[in-house]
Amino acid sequence: MEIETKNFGLIDIEEDKIINFVDNILGFEDYSKFTIIDSLDDDVFYWLQSAENPGLCFAMITPIDFIEDYKITLTDKFEERLELEQLEDIIVYTIVVIGNQGKYITTNLKAPIIINSKNRRAGQLVVQEDYPTKYYLLSEDSE
């Protein structure tokens, strides 16, 4: 299927690459179909592109690449909604915000995006662990 995007133009996505959000992204409850676009320039950033809204796209990272001991606990209800059979099937991302014209980059460790790699069902879960909503990956002040 073809998806029109604001940032990447017209892209062709295989149907089995569509991710269905059963627990939608906070603040974006009207959109449930997305795909992931790998960054062409590096292995750090990924793009969560809406299949329903060309202008809706989130930058993401895999948090374990930055926080070695990042661990979350899924609720039984969340596991059921994703139809998760085993924890090894999940892929975890966090949404990135680039602020003040690139002077800082943060990620939300408190509400990761979790995808069941077997059936492509996904959701955003506010986790019980004590993680910040703004974890600084880069800040001009830290240089």
pLDDT, one tens digit per residue, over 113-137 is 999 999 999 999 999 999 999 999 9
pLDDT of residue 70: 97
What's the pTM? Answer: 0.90
CB distance 37 to 51 below 8 Å: no
CATH number of the structural domain spanning residue 66: 2.30.290.10
pLDDT above 80 for 33: yes
Q: Which residues contact 21 (CB under 8 A, 6 or more apart)?
A: 31, 32, 33, 34, 121, 122, 123, 124
pLDDT band with cut points at 50, 70 and 90 for residue 53: very high
pLDDT above 80 for 3: yes
The position carrying tokens 């029109």 is 4
Mean pLDDT in residue range 57-64? 96
Task: Report the alpha-carbon distance of residue 95 to residue 128 in Å, rounded.
Answer: 17
Least confident of 56-60, 96-100, 132-136: 96-100
Per DSSP, the residues of 42-95 read -SS-EEEEESS-TT-EEEEE-GGGT-TT------HHHHHHTT-S-GGGEEEEEE
Give the rounded percent of residues in the chain with a pLDDT score beyond 70: 95
108: containing domain:
2-142
Report the number of distinct structural domains present in the chain: 1
